[in-house]
Amino acid sequence: MLPISRWKRRTIAAALSAIALSFAAPQAMAAPKTVTAVMHSDLRVIDPIMTTAYITRDHGYMVYDTLLATDSSFKIQPQMADWKISDDKLTYTFTLRDGLKWHDGAPVTAEDCVASLKRWGKADGMGQKLMDFVASLEATDAKTITLKLKEPYGLVLESIGKPSSRVPFMMPKRLAETLPDKAIPEQIGSGPFKFVQGEFQPGVKAVYEKNKDYVPRKEPASWTAGGKVVKVDRVEWITMPDAQTAVNALQSGDIDFMEQLPFDMLPVLEASKDLKIEVLNKFGFQTLGRMNFLYPPFDNPKVRRAAFLAMNQKDVLDALVGNAKYQQVCGAFFVCGTPLETDVGAETLVKGNGLAQAKKALAESGYDGTPVVVMAPGDVTTLKAQPIVAAQLLRDAGFKVDLQATDWQTVVTRRASQKPPKEGGWNMFFTNWVAADVADPIVNASITGRGKNGGWFGWAEDPKIEELRDKFARAGSAEEKKKIAAEIQTEAYDQVIYIPLGQYTVPSGWRKSLTGVLDGPATPIFWNIDKSE
C-alpha cells in the first residue's frame, strides 16, 4: 500500500471530525427548552408573603413549595409533609418527606417551616385566624412540626393548604424571620424552579430555570397538589403591557402562552389553528372596589354607603368583559354557586337602581367635596375598566373624583401606604380575587375587620365582623355556617367593608406546541408543561 500523503491524512481527519460533530451536534448544541409567557401583570414585588398580588403569588409557586396543597376535588393533600391529628383534635403533627432541599443545597428543616408558618400567620387573614387558636407551634425534631391548639379548630389543614393569596410558602429560617412587611433579601425556595436573579428586569422579564434537584411527589399533578414534574429548562415571563402587542406575539409564535386574553379579540384567536383557548380557572374571579377607611371621605360610613349605592355591577361587567358567556352579576360576598351564596343586602348593586338613593344619601352624609383619589391601572386587561366606570358612577352621585392613571405594580405598592391621599396615599382601588380566595369568611382577606392590626389594605375596623368570623370558625354544621355567613354579609354591606362588583372568567391562550397545560383554582401552572419545536 502506498503511504498516504500528509495532505490526504489531514483531509481524511477533517472529514472524520466533521462526521463526528454532525452526530454529536443535536445533543451538544441543543438549545434549552424555553416557554415564554405573558402574564396578567408585570412582576415587581417578589416576596409572596408581603403582598396578596396574584403575580407575586404566581412567582411564589415557581420558586417555593408548600407543606400541604389543594387538589381538584378541593381536598387537602400532602405536599412537603404528611400529617397526623390527635384524637382530641388539639395536636397536629407534620412530618417532612425525604429529599427536600433549598435551592442553595441546604436541607429543609422543621425549624425553617415553623418560621415560615409564623411569618405567614402574621400577614395572611386566614393565617391570622388560625394563629388566634394556636397554643404552640414548634419544631420537635429536624423533620417534625408540632402544632397545638387552644381549642379544636376545623380549618387547620385548609389554612396551611390554601391555594391562593397569601399562600403559606416555605422558605429558609433566615428569610422567614424577616418581618412580614419587609421584603426578604433573596429568593431561595425548595420549589420546582429557581429564580434567576441576574436576569430579572422589572418591567421587562422574569426568568426561572428548572430545579434539577427537585424531587416531585409520585402522585399525578392535580391543581397545586401532586407531582410537580418540570419538563422544560426555562420559563420566561415577558412583560407586554399592550394587549394587542401580546396577542400579535402569540399569533406569530414569539411567545408561547398568554394568561389573560382580551375579550374583544377572542373571535380572531379562537379561529386560529395554531392556538388553544381555554378557561383554566373554571371558578373564575370576583371583582371588587375597596375604600380607605383611614381618611376622609370614606372614614365616614354614611359616605361609604352613598358610594355603594352608586355602584352598578352590570355597568362594570359590561365594560370589563362585555360577553355574557364570561360574566355574571352576583351580590354574594362569598361567591355565587357556593354553599354560602346569599343575596342579602345586594339589591341595588345587582339591579343597578341605586343612583337616586346614592344622591340622597350623599347629600345627607356631610360630604364636604373632598376629592376621591381613585387609582386606575392601565396595563392589566382585567383591571382597566372598573376604576373608569366607578369614577363616573361616583361623579353621577355627586362625588368629586381624582382618577389617577398608573400601572398595576404601582397600585400594588401604593395601596400598602397609610399616608393621607395628599401625600401619596389613596381613597379607592379595584382588584380581583379568584373564587378560592373569597369563598368563605375566613379565607376572604377583604372581609376582615382588624383595622391597622393586621387588616387588609383599606384597614376596615369592625369588631362585629371579627366576632362573627370567630363564630364561623367554631361552627359545627353547614347550616350554622350558612346562617353566620349571611350575618357577616349583612354587616359587610351595612358598613361597606368592600363592594363586590360581579364575577367573571378569563380564557388563556397558548400555542399548540405546548402540551400538558393544567387547570387550577388560582395560578397558571408551569410544571407538567412540555414544548415541541
Residue 401 counted as domain residue: yes
Residue 199 counted as domain residue: no
pLDDT above 80 for 21: no
Q: State residue 114's pLDDT score.
A: 98
Q: Which three cell numbers stand for residue 467?
A: 366576632
pLDDT above 70 for 1: no
Q: State residue 418's pLDDT score.
A: 96
Scored b (16 or more CB within 10 A) or e, 142-166 reads: ebebbbebeeebebbbbbbbbbbbb
pLDDT above 60 for 25: no
Residue 303 counted as domain residue: yes
Cα end-to-end span (Å), the chain: 50
What's the mean pLDDT in 206-217?
98
The answer to whether the beta carbons of residues 64 and 116 sit under 8 Å apart is: no
Q: State residue 14's pLDDT score.
A: 45
What's the mean pLDDT in 319-345?
95
Output the domain CATH number for residue 389. 3.10.105.10
pLDDT above 50 for 13: no
pLDDT above 70 for 23: no
Residue 98 counted as domain residue: no
Question: In this predicted model, what pLDDT tens digit does every residue of 38-60 receive, in sequence order?
Answer: 999 999 999 999 999 899 999 99
Q: Which three cell numbers stand for residue 201?
A: 428586569
The strand pairing partners of 136, in sequence order, are 148
Cα separation, 417 vs 399, whole angstroms: 23
pLDDT above 90 for 2: no
Question: In this predicted model, what pLDDT tens digit does every residue of 190-208 receive, in sequence order?
Answer: 999 999 999 999 999 999 9
The answer to whether the beta carbons of residues 445 and 125 sit under 8 Å apart is: yes
Cα separation, 56 vs 45, whole angstroms: 6
Question: Taking all residues of the chain, what is their mean pLDDT, rounded to a whole number?
Answer: 93
pLDDT above 50 for 5: no
Share of the chain above pLDDT 70, in %: 94
Which phi and psi angles does 335 have, rounded to 5°? 80, 130
Residue 533 counted as domain residue: no
The answer to whether the beta carbons of residues 288 and 346 sit under 8 Å apart is: no
Q: Which three cell numbers stand for residue 10?
A: 489531514
Which phi and psi angles does 110 have, rounded to 5°? -60, -35
pLDDT above 50 for 8: no
Q: Which three cell numbers stand for residue 331?
A: 351580590
Other Cβ atoms less than 10 A from the Cβ of 475: the count is 16
pTM: 0.86
What's the mean pLDDT in 404-421?
95
Residue 406 counted as domain residue: yes
- Domain limits at 437? 285-504
* Domains held by the chain: number: 1
Residue 342 counted as domain residue: yes
The more confident residue out of 3 and 184 is 184
The more confident residue out of 211 and 379 is 211
Cα separation, 405 vs 391, whole angstroms: 12
Residue that the C-alpha cell 435551592 belongs to:
103
Share of the chain above pLDDT 90, in %: 89
Question: In this predicted model, what pLDDT tens digit does every residue of 67-114 receive, in sequence order?
Answer: 999 999 889 999 999 999 999 999 999 999 999 999 999 999 999 999
Q: State residue 533's pLDDT score.
A: 75
Q: Predicted confidence band at 29 (pLDDT cuts at 50, 70, 90)? A: low
Q: Predicted confidence band at 511 (pLDDT cuts at 50, 70, 90)? A: very high
**3-state SS assignment for residue 170:** strand
Cα separation, 108 vs 372, whole angstroms: 48
Scored b (16 or more CB within 10 A) or e, 35-61 reads: bbbbbbbbbbbbbbbbbbbbbbbbbbb
Going 513 to 515 to 519 to 522, the CA torsion angle's sign is negative
Residue 511 counted as domain residue: no
Q: Determine the Cα angle at 403 with ends 393 and 413, to 5°.
A: 120
